[in-house]
Structure 1
Amino acid sequence: MARERDLLICAVQFLTRLPTPRLAGFQPDWVSRSARYFPLVGQLVGLICAVVFWAASQVWQGVLPALLAIAAGVLVTGAFHEDGLADAADGLGGGGDPTRRLEIMKDSRIGVYGALALGLALSLKVAALAVVPPASGALALIVYHGCARGAAVLAMTSLPYVGDRDAAKRKPAPIGVTRGEAALALALAAWPLLIAPPAFVLGVLGGAALALTLAWMVRRLIGGCTGDVLGAIEQVFEVGFLLAVSAAL
């Protein structure tokens, strides 16, 4: 139980900027082993966003509550996944071969493809969330943040890692996640669906469709995944989920 507690804390440290207890005896392998708890961390982030969304909805109407909720998620995670989306878009869109695409992803400067991908993703999430009723929107934030992290964990086990682990923005990179750990992550990601309306199942399908499309693209263009690609998969899942849920509701 103490080890599982440490792995959960490690997952919080890796994915967020939230304060946590200091981990004694940290081992690099803990990051990969903690991937099983990434969806739980996502649900924690989603809960914070849900509180912001619900509270703001009691004061304002329209786009502002959704914008504040999405902004809260960016602040809590330090734009961790958004940074991956921008870098992945620059690399996939701007490189002519796998080597060049990976080089562009490592460049911290944002290009046209990255700026467009980031702006469109954030705009679509805000616009989709803004048309969802407050109670459903708050629950959606908890569900999709968890499921999106689950999609990223599944990608870790399904795609070979082709990036430079030593050059990863956050070290060590989560590599070598087992199928059993991925299965546990998916189970943890899915449990809120037990209390969610049927429209949320459509949301998962919408998010999965975009995530699978991106996974197919990166397998074809660079041969596998990097940390930036995992962030991009998490982000496109969020977009697909919210678009499907907003349409269904």
Structure 2
Amino acid sequence: MQSRTNAVTQGQLLLLAISFLTRVPVPLNFTVTGAHLNQASRYFALVGLLLGGLLALAYSVFQLLLPPSISLLLMMAVGLLLTGAFHEDGWADVWDGFGGGWQIEQKLEIMKDSRLGTYGAAALFIILLVKFQSLLFLSDSVLSETTLSVLSAIVIGQCLSRAVATSLIFSMDYVSADATSKVKPLAMHLSVTSLVTLVLTGAALLICFIAFGVMLWQTATVIIAVLLLLRLLLIYWFKQQLGGYTGDCLGAAQQLSEVVIYLTLVSLL
């Protein structure tokens, strides 16, 4: 009976993770608390994996009738609809705050503003354009001696980027002055168990791709090394700017990690 209860609880936490990161309607038969969200954060990489699968499927369907460039644009639109541009909003807010504020309080105040500023608009345009161009390049190429395609890249990018972003919670303090800026609650603590779950989710994906010949182990090694370096740089950047992280910082980290994954794959072609 105990194991059945645990299984149901973990299943509900997964549904909570889906509800938090996407606009997909899911049934939640319990009152959500910050503690629940802290626990559900271990499944954020798994939600990224599910999103990656849906986006890869959408691209495959669009490509049956349309050229790759239009298919990618439509796929990106589907991604924005599925997530409510949750992470993109964080990316734009971070650049508005970091670019327009001098003191921490000023930066947080700007980041809470729902209006989009020049820094945020420019940063959003650039990252979406880089994402599109990278995926378009990958859609016309494959890595030598593998079957790695743009579909695989999409799945890897969605999954590992959320693992990196969520892992920052383990290593940084939440900036409490930002507590009133979010409509949704935010995970503020990541246990060792949750961190291990995130890592294992990403590792399992890469191992499966290697085992089935989708990518070389050397490629996986390069991606891991680049993401570990990026994680250190993100921690340094956020600590220098705010002394910790906010929800917007995590969204920005996801977007940057995703694009860095695509650029890494492009550089290996």
Which deviates more, 119-128 or 167-176? Answer: 167-176
Q: Deviations over 1:30-52 (max 9, x none)?
A: 11110000001111111111011
- Tell me what 1:191 maps to: 204
SS for the counterpart of 1:177 is coil
- Tell me what 1:152 maps to: 165
How far does residue 233 in structure 1 lie from its aligned partner after superposition? 0.4
Is 1:230 the counterpart of 2:250? The answer is yes
Asked whether the 8 Å contact 1:52–1:69 carries over to 2, the reply is yes
Q: One-letter code of the match for 1:98? A: I
User: d(CA) in 2 for partners of 1:203 and 1:68?
Assistant: 27
Aligned counterpart in structure 2 of residue 103 of structure 1, from 94, 97, 109: 109
- Mapping 1:11-90, distance limit 5 Å: 11-90=17-96
Compared with structure 1, are the counterparts of its residues 27 and 224 closer, same or farther at alpha carbon in structure 2 (3 Å cutoff)? closer
Is 1:120 the counterpart of 2:120? The answer is no
How far does residue 61 in structure 1 lie from its aligned partner after superposition? 2.8
How far does residue 121 in structure 1 lie from its aligned partner after superposition? 0.7
Q: Deviations over 1:187-210 (max 9, x none)?
A: 112211113313354344444444
Q: Deviations over 1:120-150 (max 9, x none)?
A: 1111011000111376111111111111111
Asked whether the 8 Å contact 2:108–2:178 carries over to 1, the reply is no
Structure 1 unaligned spans of 5+: none
Aligned counterpart in structure 2 of residue 213 of structure 1, from 230, 233, 252: 233
Asked whether the 8 Å contact 2:45–2:159 carries over to 1, the reply is yes
Aligned counterpart in structure 2 of residue 177 of structure 1, from 190, 194, 199: 190
User: d(CA) in 2 for partners of 1:40 and 1:191?
Assistant: 11
Asked whether the 8 Å contact 1:146–1:189 carries over to 2, the reply is yes
Q: Give the structure-1-normalised TM-score.
A: 0.93
What percentage of aligned pairs have identical amino acids?
33
- Tell me what 2:145 maps to: none
Structure 2 unaligned spans of 5+: 1-6, 141-147, 210-214
Q: Deviations over 1:60-115 (max 9, x none)?
A: 33422222222221110000000000001111111112121111111111111111
Aligned counterpart in structure 1 of residue 261 of structure 2, from 241, 245, 248: 241
- Tell me what 2:4 maps to: none
Q: Give the structure-2-normalised TM-score.
A: 0.86
The runs of at least 4 aligned residues of structure 1 exceeding 6 Å deviation read none
SS for the counterpart of 2:266 is helix
How far does residue 186 in structure 1 lie from its aligned partner after superposition? 1.5
Question: How many residues get paired?
Answer: 249
Q: Which structure: larger Rg?
A: 2
User: d(CA) in 1 for partners of 2:70 and 2:222?
Assistant: 25
Asked whether the 8 Å contact 2:16–2:28 carries over to 1, the reply is no
Compared with structure 1, are the counterparts of its residues 58 and 205 closer, same or farther at alpha carbon in structure 2 (3 Å cutoff)? farther
Which deviates more, 115-124 or 93-102? Answer: 93-102
Asked whether the 8 Å contact 1:91–1:101 carries over to 2, the reply is yes
Is 1:91 the counterpart of 2:97? The answer is yes
Asked whether the 8 Å contact 2:62–2:71 carries over to 1, the reply is yes
User: d(CA) in 2 for partners of 1:19 and 1:155?
Assistant: 27
Asked whether the 8 Å contact 1:209–1:240 carries over to 2, the reply is no
